[in-house]
Amino acid sequence: MDEASLRVNNELDSEVMVSWMSEHCYQCLYQPLGAVPARPGPGKPSWRDFIVSTQHGLTLQVNDSHSQQLCTVPFHFEEHGNYSLWVKNLNNTTDCAVITDADPVNSFIPILVSFLVFAGLAIAFTIVKTILRLDAVKGVIFRLGGSMETERLINSELGSPDRTVDSVTDNILPPPPSPSKRLRSLDTFRGLSLVIMVFVNYGGGRYWFFRHESWNGLTVADLVFPWFVFIMGTSIALSFNSMLRAGSTRYSLLWKVVWRSVQLFVIGVIIINPNYCQGPLSWGSLRIPGVLQRLAWSYLVVACLDLLVARGRLDTLSMDAWWSRGYDILLYWPAWLCVLLLEVMWLCFTFLLPVPGCPTGYLGPGGIGDMGLYSNCTGGAAGFIDRLLLGRSHIYQTPSSRVIYATQVPYDPEGVLGSINSIVMAFLGLQAGKIILHYRDLHSSIISRFLTWGLMLGIISAILTKCSRDEGFIPVNKNLWSLSYVTTLACLAFVLLSVVYYTVDVKKWWSGAPFYYPGMNSILVYVGHEVFEEYFPFHWRMTNSQSHAEHLTQNLVATSIWVFISFVLYRKRIFWKI
């Protein structure tokens, strides 16, 4: 999978060394592929077969036995293709060319087929739903349902029926909307993030763009966790406002915040721990950071900040003051000040903390990056702090940077320093909640504020990154949870939330299904998919483990099962809250 066959043919009278480098590897050393001996005689090239990666474009380099470069060939190999690299001597110069011997397979066809299947199911569901809403169909259902109910009651001698028409059709028609003020768009957005998170955690069909980026840059897998953190902050604002209006004390809410944070942290450390793959857990190999641990920390800090400044009633505020348009920020300036101080702390630690054997302010992956000069400096200050405070054996042992940069140093993407920026992300989500509270029922104002925030954060990201992947002041980096990563993902979150809010809560063009249901039971789905990952029907033995199609089928089926489970729990009104 994600591999092709390459035969190197050498027509030179001397041995050649073939090396490679991925186009995704920034300022990297070439990695040896292998040596090809000199030709045995005129017209008889020597050859040797190799396996090359097809995930990204590669640059092949051919050197002679004295390490002198003969030629370089950039080429993007495709999956299961057979290729030949010919090294020839033409007019006293070395010529290199790649030829396709056997056509590769189209590894994206399974994605297209899956898209068409789910699109067809969505269209069929919409058609059935529309038909069921027709008055004539409702009448037929009523008559059939009524006669069947009457016959059942007569046969069982239970007396006359006492259920209404609505109860007869309850299992066929969608449930009526809840009279509560809960915004479906928030649960839909949370559910969308969660469903993608479950899918990529199960493997994402083993496609590279459904895995985390090796270092700088973004893939689909890098989007969802920050969005989940963002929407958690939004929910904090809305839930605390509701509970304060209902008469809850800040002290009681603080106790709930602390207790929930402890529960999330313990579940993350003990139940969902990747080091289970290495055998029974022991203190010597226990990973302390993690996804739920970071959620717990971000929730604790942001919720406490909001409790300090949150207002129980907003309808008492006058809108006549000149600064009323900034209520959603100015009323909470102490919390904003704390968050800005936290961000200054992240910048100081990242760019000013001396790291032994590494340049100050280093943001690289180490390994073969930066021409191999800082191989043990993975993550710079972030990695150094984790190894110092938590120990090398208590952090993630196989970071995504190993894939391309061949790093050998343990590094945790949910480490201590990055948790500061996850707090910032949650606080930006809290700001979205403040906008909803202060501009309640003013849909145009809410959407315009969302888009304004998205624009401002997008501009900040463009400045920090110089609109490039690797050349910016602070590149977008999920492993570091860099500042530009937060501003970029928060920008996308504000824009996406405005779209979902408009389509779900304002125009009601979309009910939010099916993402709404896992969004209502997010903790249960997340914990459940981690605990039962290796069990049937979420996982089974494959007939061809090198097939994207079979991996994609398995991962989509497993994800769909969790969506269905969340739907059943929603209909049964079963919700796991901690």
Residue 177 covered by a domain: no
Q: What 3-state class would DSSP assign to 222?
A: helix
What is this structure's pTM? Answer: 0.88
Among residues 54, 76, 102, which one ends one of the domains?
A: 102
Residue 178 covered by a domain: no
Instruction: Look up residue 57 and give its two tokens.
Output: 């474009």
Residue 234 covered by a domain: yes
Same domain, 423 and 276: yes
Instruction: Look up residue 118 and give its two tokens.
Output: 């789910």
Per DSSP, the chain holds a count of helices (H) and strands (E) of 17, 8
349, 355, 360, 361 alpha-carbon torsion, rounded to 10°:
-50
Residue 115, pLDDT score = 92
Tally Cβ neighbours within 10 Å of residue 189.
Answer: 28
Residue 522 covered by a domain: yes
179-227 confidence digits (pLDDT tens): 346 789 999 999 999 999 999 999 999 999 999 999 999 999 999 999 9
290-320 confidence digits (pLDDT tens): 999 999 999 999 999 999 988 777 665 666 6
Q: What's the number of domains the chain is made of?
A: 2
Same domain, 71 and 198: no
Tally Cβ neighbours within 10 Å of residue 111.
Answer: 17
Residue 321 covered by a domain: no
Residue 146, pLDDT score = 60
Residue 220 covered by a domain: yes
Residue 157, pLDDT score = 46
**Residue type for 236, please?**
I
Same domain, 63 and 192: no
Average pLDDT for residues 119-133, to the nearest whole number?
86
Residue 547, pLDDT score = 84
The gap from C-alpha 560 to its chain's centroid, in whole angstroms, comes to 17
Residue 57, pLDDT score = 92
CATH number of domain containing 84: 2.60.40
* DSSP state letter for 179: S
Same domain, 447 and 557: yes
Same domain, 94 and 199: no
62-82 confidence digits (pLDDT tens): 998 888 888 999 999 999 999
Residue 176 covered by a domain: no
Distance between first and last Cα of the chain = 41
Among residues 59, 80, 102, which one ends one of the domains?
A: 102
Instruction: Look up residue 449 and give its two tokens.
Output: 């504020």
Residue 151 covered by a domain: no
Same domain, 348 and 464: yes
Reported confidence tier of residue 420, pLDDT bands at 50, 70, 90: very high
Question: If phi over 0 gives left and psi between -120 and 50 gives alpha, with beta otherwise, what is residue 442?
Answer: beta
Same domain, 74 and 205: no
* DSSP state letter for 505: I
Q: What 3-state class would DSSP assign to 18?
A: strand
214-272 confidence digits (pLDDT tens): 999 999 999 999 999 999 999 999 999 989 888 889 999 999 999 999 999 999 888 77
- Tokens 């470069």 -> residue: 69
212 is catalytic: yes
Residue pair 330/267 in contact by the 8 Å Cβ criterion: no
pLDDT at 469 over 80: yes
Q: Tell me which of 24, 80, 212, 548 is the catalytic residue.
A: 212
Same domain, 81 and 192: no
Among residues 78, 102, 126, which one ends one of the domains?
A: 102
Same domain, 369 and 493: yes
Full residue range of the structural domain in which residue 229 is found: 184-312+328-571
Tally Cβ neighbours within 10 Å of residue 407.
Answer: 27
Residue 113, pLDDT score = 93
499-515 confidence digits (pLDDT tens): 999 999 999 999 898 99
Same domain, 73 and 210: no
**Rounded to whole angstroms, what are the CA distances from 298 to 189, 234, 303?**
19, 12, 8
